[in-house]
Structure formats: structure tokens, C-alpha cells
Chain A
Amino acid sequence: MNKFVLKILVAALWFLCLLAGVYLIFHNKSRQANTYDNDAVFVWGDSQMYQGLDAALLSDKTERKVWTSVGHGRGIYDFLVCEKTIPDGSTCVVSFPECAFFRNPLSDNNRTGLELSCLKDIINSGCPLGEAERIFELNRRRQNINYKAFNSEEHNLYKYADSLVYPEPLPAWHPLFEEKKDWFQWKAKSYEKGIHSLFEKRSQIILIQFPFDEQVESFAKESVNRHLSDSLKTKIVKDYSMKVDTLELCSDSLLMHDLSHMNEVGARLLTAKIAEILSADTVNNRFLRVVIE
């Protein structure tokens, strides 16, 4: 019996060392894969950014390389992982993702890669251990350890249509804004940590708050969660001396594809405006609130 327990302990120790060794080899390869030119523009965001920014157009207009890490359901852990790979002094266009703040963590698509330091960060921000374990589980595979955080100009715009589509009915949006979410605090704290790291890297940061359709805005603007995200916004703006701008997009055409995503017309309009800001001689840290007129 004692022999068995002893052998199991030795085996566990051996496997731990083995796994740590394999992890370090893969992770080292990932470090090499994630080397970027600091003159590039780095874009991170969830689906609102994925559908709302034309990365190729941004690259054309700014004549700079654009690296994107965008996708549906991207979570805050994912932002921290991407932030780790961004070189010092680069320009970052980052989503201020209200949906990611309010959405149940179970629906977060945190699959970019495994970074133990980022896991530690979110745990220190108050993330429950069960959720951290879930993120670990999502990222424990080889391709998530040896990962590449940014892709070249990845985007996917929704085609223009004369009317909105409703993948989810309007009432389904009420709880997202109106029901208090336990996870908001740790997500917000983690997000702030990511912004703080970018600031320490002397990055030029542009935070973008994407619009929702007016049907959602009508109840979201006075909702409990919007108040929380507004407080977070105010804190970040104050702490990092950001310039706050409202970007008004005007067009005769419909600019939204559905209740939370812009269509290709809206995305290109917004991209052009962001390109203008990036092409200016000096780019301050900014918080851009996008509004559709």
C-alpha cells in the first residue's frame, strides 16, 4: 500500500515535470511566433469589432500593417493574452466590449492561447477558480500553447441589407443590460489590468465603444449595467488621461446588420474615421464612442 502511494507520488512528480517541460517547449515556440513589428496597428475585439472594422481598408488607408485578434464571443482573458504579445510603443485599437463584460463567462470564447500569467491575473481580479479552470481546459491543447495571437488583417463584414436581422429577439437583450451580473467586477478589473499593461508599454491606445441599435439603446442607456460600464469607462479615461470623442456615423443607408453588429457600410465608414485618427501626426490615447445618427 505504502509502496503504491509512493510510486504514484513519484509518477505524479515525473508527469508534472514532463508536462511542464513540454509546455515550456511549445510556449517558447509561441514566443517566437508572436514577434511583431512595433510600427504595426494591433486590433483586439469581440464580434462588434470583428464585424465593425475593415482591417484591410484600415491597412490601405494608414499604410501600416494591421494585425487583428478579433472574433465572436472573445472574452477578457483573451484580451490579456493578446495584450502580452503586443510590442512596446505600438498602436492598439481595442474594443470596449460591453457584451463581453455582461455576458455569462460560460459563453466567452477565450481560446487564443494558454498564458499562465494571464490566468493568474484574472484569478487575482476575482475570477472564480471554476471559471479559470474552464479557461485552462479550453486552452490546454498543443495549438493553444504554441499559438499565434494576431492574424493579418482578419475581418468578416456583414453584407448590406435594407432591414435588420434578428438572430435573437429583442426581449432576449433585456437581461443582458438589466440584470446585475456577478462577473462584471472581475471582468472589468481584468480589462483594466490589460489597459494598464498597454499604457505601461507606452502604447497609443484607442478604445472603441461600438453602438447598439436604437431599440437596444432605448432601454440600455438607463440600465443598471450601462451605469456600471459607464463608471468603468470614466475610471479608465481618468486614470490614463484619455481624450473622449463621440464618433458620429451618418448615412442614408442602414448601418447596422442586427441589434449589435454593424454591416459593411457602417464598418467601412467607421474604419475610414479611425484611419483618419491614426494618420494624424499625434495620436493621443482616446476613448471613442461610436454613435449612429
Chain B
Amino acid sequence: MLFNSIQFAIFLPIVFMLYWFVFDRFISKSKWQLRLQNAFVVVASYVFYGWWDWRFLLLIAFTSFCSWGSGMLMQRVDSQQFDLKLMGVGNSLEINKLQKHKKLIATANIVLNLLILAVFKYYDFFVTEFAQLFHISTEGLLLKVILPVGISFYTFQALSYSIDVYRGKIEPTKDIVAFFAFISFFPQLVAGPIERATNLLPQFLKKREFDYDTAVDGMRQILWGLFKKIVVADNCAVYVDQVFSTYTEQTGSTLLLAAIFFTFQIYGDFSGYSDIAIGTAKLFGIKLMRNFNVPYFSRDIAEFWRRWHISLTTWFRDYVYIPLGGSRVSKAKVVRNTFVIFLLSGFWHGANWTFIAWGAYHAILFLPLILTGKNRKYTNQVAEGRILPTFKEAGQMLLTFFLAVIGWIIFRAESIGMAWEYFRGMMQFGTLRSSYRFFILPEMWPTNLFIVIMLVVEWIQRDKELGFAIGNWHFVVRWLMYSIVVSLIVFEGGQSVPFVYFQF
């Protein structure tokens, strides 16, 4: 089920009403109330996911069960260790043995989850690459299974639970229903934000209270997310798809414009999805982590990565980069660690060399900053306390944006060869001279205008957590804004295009 579909527009109010009016109010005296409400979340989430393909529900259920089970086993080991220590009968050898046992359980679950991910997402890629390398036929070797939507997202969520339990950062939960709700919570099930067990799981273990202001904020966030997705991203997609599918026949300026449009498409698409997900979760009294923080207003690439797909970036930071030593090791190791997380981050997006190249490209841009200790130079918001940026800041933002555009070409291309040809096509004489023409073409006006609206609103609201935080504006202005946005979504939105990140 897509967020931008009529099915979801019917599904959401029904689930909302049942969640608060049946499972919260009418059975509130029951000691089972929380469990029933969580069970309802699981059922609703499975319906949401099963609408796409019910067969893969088994996969989510299996992942959830294994991760919950591993948590329970680790807890049993922990309590054995505790008993030994408490009674003073255990020697360090026994305690070490139990610790190894715990590590083994965590590792087994991590390997199992990664194995599932590898089979569905990467197996065919590796087989094809090996076959090409050794000139053998792939006939009969490929699985050719469709990629289950959101597998990378919920697998990483499950992994974070196992690792956090192993590290003792979170108590494993006995409540299997709450755990299933944590893994499958429908707003963020298929495209994130990738939640940590430390943030989301405790919210399923206590009674949620309806908060009027939070719910209204959630509605505003959904509205803004729909605007970014349907009005900005889907309109850009029409032009981008056309140009990328015929890139060999296009002029340099057309290619450049399509690359810029894709830069806004992917932002509108993914941050739009995240806004809808976070807004929807707020309606159910759940707070999800922020996933985007105006990344195109970044002054360098390091800042860009602190603001883009925050849930994935911090996941890799916490579970890969820091365990590898982070930046507190020798320079050679810093280089290694940087490449490891960027390459992994690229590969997480899909089984294609383009994603790996995209990761490597960003690693190369990031390295000079981390090696000179300037990677945390800009931790505040740009032009803080001012309306406009300085010339220097504007230049820095433009340069960072341009570097991101280059990266997105690699990301969007179907192969490295295509990316290379695309760059060559863009480097034609006259590309920059004639590019401006596209901005004055009448058929480009609406899309250009929508991008400008998005940028202006996000610039004004850049120090707020929500792009459409207009709760304190005058009633008339506020409702005028809502009316304009709703009208634009319905009458100016592009043709429905699936969310880009669904494929990951």
C-alpha cells in the first residue's frame, strides 16, 4: 500500500479510529489493553504490507521471531551470569564461557538476518559478477526472486535490537507482541526511518496517550510530505525518466537539468516519505526519529551527511564506524573506516556497482574533511538568526549542492558506463550557456515553481524540526496555506510514481 494512494487514505482513518476508540478507550480497563492495542498495530501493519505481497509477511514474521528469540536467549544467559556472580560460585572461566555463549547467540541472529538480506538482495548480483569474471554461464544459478519491499529497512532495525541487547544497551523484551509491533510498525516499515530499539521499542511497552498538538503536528507533517512527494518529486520524475532513458540523444544542458531535477526528486521523494511516516506515527502517539534536516542547505559534504538519511548514517556510525575505531585511530585506519562505511552505505542501497561507486565518491569527498579534522566544522544551522546567508555561505551551499548532483548522477545511472556517458554528454560545449533556457520554458515553469516553494518554505523553517510548522501562524493564513497545498497536491501533482526508496 502506498502512502500516496486512495487505499491508504481509507486505511489510515479506519486504523486510527480503531486504535484510539476501540483498543484504547473501550477496553481500557482490561489488563490486556496494551497488548491488544499492540496486536492491532501488528495486524494493521501486516495488512498494510500484505497489500503489496502477502507472501513476504512470513519473512517479516520470521525475522521478528528470530530477533525476539535471540533477545530472550541472551537474557537467559545474562541471568545465569548474574546468578553466578550473586552467589559467588562462578569463576571467571564460567562467566567468560557464558559471555561467549551470548556472543554466539547475537552473532547467529545477525548472520541469519544478513543471510536473508543477502539471498534476496545480493545473491543474483554476486553470481552474475562471478560468472562474468570466470566466463561461466549463469543458467540455473540465478534465483530471480523479487526483492521484498523494505527488507533492508526492517532487517537493519532487527539487527540494531540484537546488537543493543548484546551490548546491554537495552533490556530484551519478553513481550513478543510489542516486539512484532516494533519491527513491523507500518508507517516506517517499508522505507524507514530505520528506528533503534532503544527509541521505538519502549514506546510499545507503555500506554500511549493521545496528544492533540502532536496529532495536529503529525497531520501537518503528512501534508508537507505529500507535497514534497506528489508535487515536487513526481513532477520532476516525468522529466528525469524521459531524459535518463534517452540520455544519448540529449544535449548537455538537458542532461544537467535532468540531474538537478533528480537531485530534487530524490529529496522530495524520500524526505516526503519520511515526513509522512513520522507524521502518521505521531497520530498513534509514537515518536520516530528525524530522517532529514534540510540537507541541501549544507555547507560541506560532512554536514550533508549529518542531514541526509540520518537514521541510516547514524546506524552505520554506531554499529560499524565506531566499533572499527572511528576517527580515534591512525590516519590509515581512518581512511579505511571512512571507505568501509561509505561503501557499505552505497551497497545497502542495492546490488549494483553504481551504488558502490556513489559511496566511494562520497568517501573521497569526505576524506579530506575528516583527515584535517574539519568534518564537524558546521554543526549549527546555516545563517543562524539571519534571514539570508552570507555570500560565503551561499557559495558553500551551491558547491555542496553541485557535488551532491554529481553523486546523484552515479546513483541514478543504470551502470557505471551509463554514468560515464552521462557525464561526457554533460560536458559538451555550451552546456552552461544554454542551461538557463530550460528555466524559462513555459512547460518547466510549474515544476520549477514547486521546487522554489519547497526550498523557500524549508529555508524559512530550517531551524524547526518540521517543514510545515505553522501552528502559531494566524488562523486565516494557516488555512490558506493548507488549502493551497491540498489544491496543489490534487491538481498539480505528478502521476503516481512509487517511492524511489521502496526498491532498497
A residues contacting B by CB (< 8 A) are: 1, 3-5, 7-8, 11, 14-15, 18-19, 22, 26, 133, 137-138, 140-142, 145
Partner of B495 from the list A3, A4, A133, A138 (CB cut-off 8 Å) is: A138
Q: A140's contact among B215, B216, B219, B491, by CB below 8 Å, is which? A: B491
Q: Which of B210, B212, B491 has the most CB of A within 10 A?
A: B491
Q: What is the bound-complex CA distance between A141 and B494, given in angstroms? A: 8
CA distance A4 to B216 in the complex (A): 8
A219–B486 CA distance with the chains assembled, in angstroms: 52
C-alpha gap A275/B490 in the complex (Å):
43
Known contacts A15-B483, A137-B496; is-contact A22 B491 (Cβ 8 Å) = yes
| Chain B binding surface SS class | helix
Alpha-carbon distance between A4 and B214 when the two chains are bound, in angstroms: 11
User: Chain B interface (Cβ within 8 Å of chain A)?
Assistant: 6, 17, 20, 210, 212, 215-216, 219, 479, 482-483, 486-487, 490-493, 495-496
In the bound complex, residues from chain A placing their C-beta under 8 Å from that of B210 are 1, 4
Check A4–B215 contact: CB distance below 8 A: yes
Looking across the interface, which residue of chain A has its beta carbon closest to that of B209? A1
In the complex, besides A15-B486, A18-B486, A26-B491, 14 extra interface pairs with C-beta distance below 8 angstroms are A1-B20, A4-B212, A5-B17, A11-B482, A14-B483, A18-B483, A19-B491, A22-B487, A22-B491, A133-B6, A137-B495, A140-B490, A140-B491, A141-B491
Give me the 10 closest cross-chain CB pairs, A-B, nearest first: A142-B491, A1-B210, A15-B486, A4-B215, A4-B212, A133-B6, A137-B496, A18-B483, A19-B490, A22-B487
Residues of chain B within 8 A (CB-CB) of A137 are 495-496
Q: A4-B215, A133-B6 are in contact. Are A18 and B487 (CB under 8 A)?
A: yes
Q: Which of A15, A18, A19, A141 contacts B492 (CB 8 A)?
A: A141
Residues of B close to A11: CB separation below 8 A: 482
Q: Nearest Cβ in chain A — how far from B227, in angstroms?
A: 14
* Complex CA–CA separation, A7 to B219 (angstroms): 11
Residues of B within 8 A of A141 (CB): 491-493
Smallest beta-carbon distance A2→chain B, Å: 10
Instruction: Identify the closest chain B residue to A22 (Cβ).
Output: B487
> Bound complex: CA of A26 vs CA of B496, how far in Å?
21
Given contacts A4-B215, A18-B486, contact A145 B491 (CB under 8 A): yes
Closest chain A residue to B235 by CB distance?
A141
Residues from chain A with a CB closer than 8 A to the CB of B486 are 15, 18-19
How far, in whole Å, are A7 and B72 apart by their CA atoms in the complex? Answer: 44
18 contacts between A and B (CB under 8 A): A1-B210, A3-B212, A4-B215, A8-B219, A11-B482, A15-B483, A18-B483, A18-B486, A19-B486, A19-B490, A26-B491, A133-B6, A137-B495, A137-B496, A140-B490, A140-B491, A141-B492, A142-B491
Chain A residue at minimal CB-CB distance from B494: A141
Query: Given the complex, which residues of B lie within 8 Å of A145, measured CB to CB?
Result: 491
Residues of A within 8 A of B492 (CB): 141-142
For the complex formed, measure the closest distance between the CB of B173 and the CB atoms of chain A, giving whole angstroms: 28
A11-B219 Cα distance, complex, nearest whole Å: 11
Contacts of A18 in B (CB 8 A): 483, 486-487
CB-CB under 8 A for A19 and B487, given A3-B212, A4-B212, A4-B216? yes
The residue in chain A whose Cβ has the minimal distance to the Cβ of B496 is: A137
A8: chain B residues at CB < 8 Å are 219
A123 CB to nearest B CB, Å: 14
A residues less than 8 Å from B487 (CB atoms): 18-19, 22
For A3, what are the chain B residues with a Cβ–Cβ distance below 8 Å?
Answer: 212
> Roughly how many angstroms separate A70 CA and B483 CA in the complex, as a whole number?
36
Residue of A3, A5, A133 with most chain B CB atoms under a 10 A cut-off: A5
With A and B bound together, what is the CA distance between A8 and B17 in angstroms?
A: 12
Return A277 CB to nearest CB of chain B, in Å: 39
Q: Residue on B with the closest CB to A145? A: B491
| CA A138 to CA B497, docked complex, whole Å | 11
Separation of A141 and B231 alpha carbons in the complex (Å): 11
CA distance A3 to B20 in the complex (A): 13
What is the CA–CA distance of A208 and B210 in the complex, to the nearest angstrom? 63
Residues from chain A with Cβ under 8 Å of B493 in the complex = 140-141
CA of A288 to CA of B483, assembled, Å:
52
Tell me the complex Cα distance, A137–B230, Å.
12
A133–B492 alpha-carbon span in the complex (Å): 17
Give the residues in chain B near A133, CB-CB below 8 Å: 6
A22 contact set on B, CB distance < 8 A: 487, 490-491
In chain A, what residue has the closest Cβ to B446? Answer: A142
CA distance A15 to B495 in the complex (A): 21
What distance in Å separates the Cβ of A46 from its nearest Cβ neighbour in chain B? 20
Question: Chain B: which residue is nearest A137 at the CB level?
Answer: B496
